[in-house]
Every structure is written in C-alpha cells, then in structure tokens.
C-alpha cells in the first residue's frame, strides 16, 4: 500500500502516527457497477486516542473530553466510502481524522474582555434621549384646549 501521501499533520509538528492507525476495508454501497460487488473500497480508520503516545498530554486530555460522544473505548473511528477507489477513500479518511483531531485539540478561545463604553458616548446618548422626550412631551396637546 505504498503511495500514501504520508504523514497527515494535525497541528504544528504533530501528525497522525502511521503505526497507530488501524485500517479496515469493506464493500461499499452505492454506484459502481459490477466492480463494486467485488472490491473492498469502503475504508474504516480507527485511532486509539486513549492509548496514543503521539499527542502531547494536554491535547490528548482535551480531545478525549471533546470527542467523548464519538469514542468507543477510547477509540475514534472515521469512515469513508464516497470514492470508488480504496486509495482515495483512505486519503479522505486520514485527512478527515487529522482535521477532527486538530479541531478537538485546539486550545480554548481566550475569554472575552468586556469593553468599557466611553463616558462621552454615554452622556451623548442620555442627552439625545432627553431631547427626544422633550420633543414628544411638547406634542401632547395639554395646553391647546
């Protein structure tokens, strides 16, 4: 199975460890004529997130937490069957897994610091409100009787 386009980067220098990827192939459903009935073009890629040594500990903890709903015994699974060739499905599955791990290991966003409204803007707003209220009060026909 040579010709794989090689290490799939997750983020920075860290990439998917080829040795820890478990591939499984099966017959794919969908179009493809008689060929599809005989070739195992669907790809299932498994990666043991709980036992891997390839990811930094912080990333691993973060990923286990965020992907908790997708994991089965600490193993994350990605399937690909959109292409008719097994090789292209392998590529797609590996890229998808790398993207999934990149998203799951990303650092949390920095907390938002609330901005203060400048005093001048607030005073102008209150002044305009007062002016508007005076205008409306002037329209009330109390003194026109």
The residues, ordered by sequence, that sit 6+ positions from 29 with a Cβ below 8 Å of its Cβ are 42, 81
pTM summary value? 0.63
Spatial CA neighbour of 48 closest among 70, 69, 29, 22: 22
Q: How far is Cα 95 from Cα 118, in angstroms, rounded to an integer?
A: 48
Backbone angles phi, psi at 142, to 5 degrees: -75, -45
CA 47 – CA 43 distance, rounded (Å): 13
Residue-level pLDDT at 134: 93
Determine the Cα–Cα distance for residues 68 and 54; give it in Å rounded to an integer: 19
Confidence of residue 36 (pLDDT cuts 50, 70, 90): low
Convert the pLDDT of each residue in 68-122 to its tens digit: 888 788 788 888 888 878 888 888 888 888 888 888 888 888 999 999 989 999 9
pLDDT, tens digit, for every residue of 37-70? 667 778 888 888 888 777 888 888 888 888 888 8
SS3 label, residue 48: strand
Which among 55, 45, 42, 51 has a CA at the least distance from the CA of 77? 45
């Amino acid at each position: 199975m040579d010709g794989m386009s090689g290490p799939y980067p997750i983020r920075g220098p860290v990439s998917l460890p080829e040795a820890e990827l478990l591939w499984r192939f099966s017959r794919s459903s969908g179009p493809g004529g008689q060929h599809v009935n005989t070739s195992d073009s669907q790809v299932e890629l498994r990666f043991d997130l709980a036992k891997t040594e390839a990811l930094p500990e912080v990333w691993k903890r973060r990923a286990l937490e965020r992907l908790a709903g997708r994991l089965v015994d600490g193993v994350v699974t990605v399937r690909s069957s959109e292409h008719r060739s097994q090789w292209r499905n392998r590529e797609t599955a590996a890229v998808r897994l790398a993207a999934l791990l990149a998203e799951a290991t990303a650092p949390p966003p920095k907390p938002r610091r609330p901005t203060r409204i400048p005093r001048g803007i607030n005073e102008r707003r209150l002044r305009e409100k007062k002016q508007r209220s005076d205008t409306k009060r002037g329209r009330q026909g109390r003194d026109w009787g």
